[in-house]
Amino acid sequence: MTGFLSTRDLTMRFGGHIAVDGVTCEFAPGTLTAIVGPNGAGKTTFFNLLSGQLAATAGHIFWDLDEITGLPASARARRGIGRAFQLTNLFPGLSVRENVRLAVQGEAGVGLDLRRRWRSRRDLVDRADEILGRVGLAGRADARAGSLSHGDQRKLEVGLLIALRPRVFMFDEPTAGMSVDDVPVILDLIHAVKAEGRSTILLVEHKMDVVRSLADRIVVLHNGRLVADGEPEAVMAAPVVQSAYLGIGPDA
Amino acid sequence: MRFLRALLSDDLPRSRALSAILVAIFLGLLFAPFLFSGSQALNAAAKILYFVVLAASYDLLLGYTGIVSFAHTMFFGIGGYGAGLALYGWGPSWSSVAAGTAIALVLSVALATAIGLFSLRVQRIFFAMITLAVASVFAILASQLGWLTGGEDGRTYQVPPLLRPGFRLFEGEIGGVAINGRIVAYYLLLVTALVLFLAMLRVVNSPFGRVLQAIRENDFRAEAIGYRTVLYRSVANCVSAAVATVAGVMCAVWLRYTGPATTLSFDIMLDILLMVVIGGMGTLYGAVIGATLFLLAETYLQTLMGAISRATEGIPLLPALFHPDRWLLWLGILFIGSVYFFPAGIVGRLGRDR
Ligand SMILES: Nc1ncnc2c1ncn2[C@@H]1O[C@H](COP(=O)(O)OP(=O)(O)O)[C@@H](O)[C@H]1O
Ligand SMILES: [Mg+2]
């Protein structure tokens, strides 16, 4: 079986501040793990370490049997570790369609083709259009990405991730700040990815009802430390979680 | 129409006005030897040809990839000196041109790769400073190695017989113009410029070209979706350098002279920068318009101002203001004005139809 992403004693220090503190953890294919914890707990930093945006101060990251701790972000993306960002992070001056095409051609590995017109790759054009439809942006395909509403930008952010066809999907608060109409679009997409049953999915999410409905497992970070890990019901009931995860009582 | 689309790599001009201007420039250049008499006009047209190539290749870096480089005239100079010194040293044959070009291309790509790998991972400002330093060293070398380059005086040489003024392609004339070697040389430049321009248009509209734009927009995210941005930047740098090198060869063959002032000078670097900015960054058509306007202004502003000065004789102040000696002042005002009023360049200003 392949598709295991794991960390050993993973640590990230910013000056004197420890944002991720000795986290050892494994994520299996076909499961959706929710990562929860208060603001500043180190969730985004943990993602940045996994996908290579940050280089770990100490510890190791393994992708199946390979250590990928030192690999640059682009190499990890090409190996199938995909990432959507908490703060929307697009190509603002390019059209929505071009944003998706960039991810599609990245997955297809044709970026160094200087000779062919984009349009001559019918298969890639079609795939980009299909993804635009799935994230509900077909009508905005020609708009500049920077001119989209916040909700549409979040959809595009998820669209880029799906276009990469990764084996690991990392969603960092994908629905934060979205209107109630837009939230289901994103959740349906995550559901669909999960239903395929092959991918390893990591989800940072504050809304506990969302976590309950999607997660197979919950990992709790607090001050950079992994303080709880297990089945959703068990984790939610644990006293350490009740005290650590501020504002979330058993009935929240 | 399909053929035209393929030729222009699906990147048709976006507005009628832009298409009209581009067609006018193209026809003007195509028929320049027959439309305008005198060597000044033909020289200006030929200069436009190699500067269009030079400015467009610079836009590949500046406008498409967001890389600020000051080494572009160095690559232009390598091409110029490569062809020029080969013609000077090995005699005026086509094999000298070919060998000089090949050596220049190898040297340019090697230098571009070295600069790229050493410095494209650092911050953009450092990259700009490093290119500036390397280009300065190269310019000093060119003027110090007098035994090879002719120093500040440069080298004057002959070109292959086919391209010499005394050569006649055939007896008789077309439209009252005898087809001599200069006109053959002009059309050689025209074909080269056209092929290079269309090739660059293909590059910017290829999957690779889209990655360059992505790097310009957000290199962090480009890296996150799997593009090794250092590699892409380096390849862009090499392509741009190689094209600038060929522009230098065009210049050397046309002028039959190569020296620091025509190839390596920092003034030329600033000129290219202005051409790209005036025409519009991130569009190769902008480079065509920018280079054409700039060189026309540079060539004809003095003449134009002389005419205005004479026409306004008797009115106080105006004749003095438009005195031909003040042409640089007016050129400066034109630049500031165009950058101020068209921050997105002329192509950006023309917008898109629909
Ligand atoms: N680039 C950085 N430099 C310095 N400190 C950082 C940086 N990124 C995050 N931090 C700090 O690390 C801690 C964890 O942040 P983060 O991972 O964003 O938390 P979360 O996503 O769980 O809200 C915070 O205290 C934050 O201020
Ligand atoms: Mg966060």
| Chain B interface includes A101 (CB < 8 A) | yes
Please state the pTM of the whole predicted model: 0.92
The percent of residues in chain A predicted with pLDDT above 90, rounded, is 79
| Averaged pLDDT score across all residues of chain B | 92
Residues of chain A neighbouring B206 (CB-CB closer than 8 A): 113-118
Digit-coded pLDDT (tens) for A32-62: 999 999 999 999 999 999 999 999 999 999 9
Give me the numbers of helices (H) and strands (E) for chain A, helices first please. 9, 10
Domain assignment present for residue A88? The answer is yes
Q: Test A112 with B208 for CB contact under 8 angstroms.
A: yes
In a domain, A110, yes or no: yes
Range of the structural domain that residue A105 is part of: 5-244
Number of domains in chain A: 1
- Nearest atom in ligand 1 to the alpha carbon of residue A37 is 22
Confidence of residue B308 (pLDDT cuts 50, 70, 90): confident
CATH code assigned at B24:
1.10.3470
Nearest Cβ partner for B202 among A85, A115, A164: A115
Number of domains in chain B: 1
Cite the beta strand spans of chain A per DSSP E.
5-14, 17-27, 32-36, 58-63, 66-67, 81-84, 168-172, 200-204, 217-222, 225-230
* Cα-to-centroid distance, A12 and ligand 1 (Å): 10
Residue A223's pLDDT is: 93
For residues A153 and A171, give the distance between their C-alpha atoms in angstroms, rounded to a whole number.
14
Within a domain: residue A185? Answer: yes
Residue B138: name the closest of B157, B114, B159, B102 by CA.
B114
Minimum Cα–Cα distance from B215: chain A residue: A91
Within a domain: B4: no
The reply to whether A153 falls in a domain is yes
pLDDT confidence of residue B346? 87
| Rounded Cα distance, B30 and B46, in Å | 11
Closest approach of B2 to chain A, Cα-based (Å): 13
Measured in whole angstroms, the distance separating CA B221 from the mean position of its chain's CA atoms is: 32
The whole domain housing B152 covers 14-350
What single string gives the DSSP state of each residue in A119-131?
Answer: GG-HHHHHHHHHH
Rounded (10°) angle between helices A183-196 and A150-163: 10
The residue type found at B288 is V
In a 10 Å sphere around its CB, with 0-12 CB exposed, 13-18 middle and 19+ buried, how is residue B176 labelled?
A: exposed
Give me the interface pTM, i.e. the ipTM. 0.92
Ligand 1: residue whose CA is nearest its atom 9: A45
Whether A251 is in a domain gets the answer no
Which pLDDT does position A1 carry in this prediction?
57
Q: How far is CA B50 from CA B241, B255, B271, in A?
A: 14, 11, 13
> What's the confidence (pLDDT) of residue B345?
87
Q: How far apart (Å, rounded) are the C-alpha atoms in residues B38 and B271?
A: 25
**Atom 24 of ligand 1: nearest residue by CA position:** A40
* Residue A114, domain member (yes or no): yes
Instruction: Please state whether beta strands A168-172 and A200-204 pair in parallel, antiparallel, or not at all (unpaired).
Output: parallel
Give me the mean pLDDT over the A111-135 stretch. Answer: 92
**Which residue lies with its CA nearest to atom 11 of ligand 1?**
A19
CATH code, domain with A112: 3.40.50.300
The answer as to whether B156 is a domain residue is yes
pLDDT for A238: 83
Tens of pLDDT, residues B44-54: 999 999 999 99
pLDDT score recorded for residue A250: 42
Q: Does A112 touch chain B (CB under 8 A)?
A: yes
- Within a domain: A249: no
CB-defined contacts A:B, below 8 A: 100
User: Is the confidence at residue B353, as pLDDT, over 80?
Assistant: no
Q: Is A89 on the interface with B (CB under 8 A)?
A: yes
The answer, yes or no, to whether residue B354 has pLDDT greater than 60, is: no
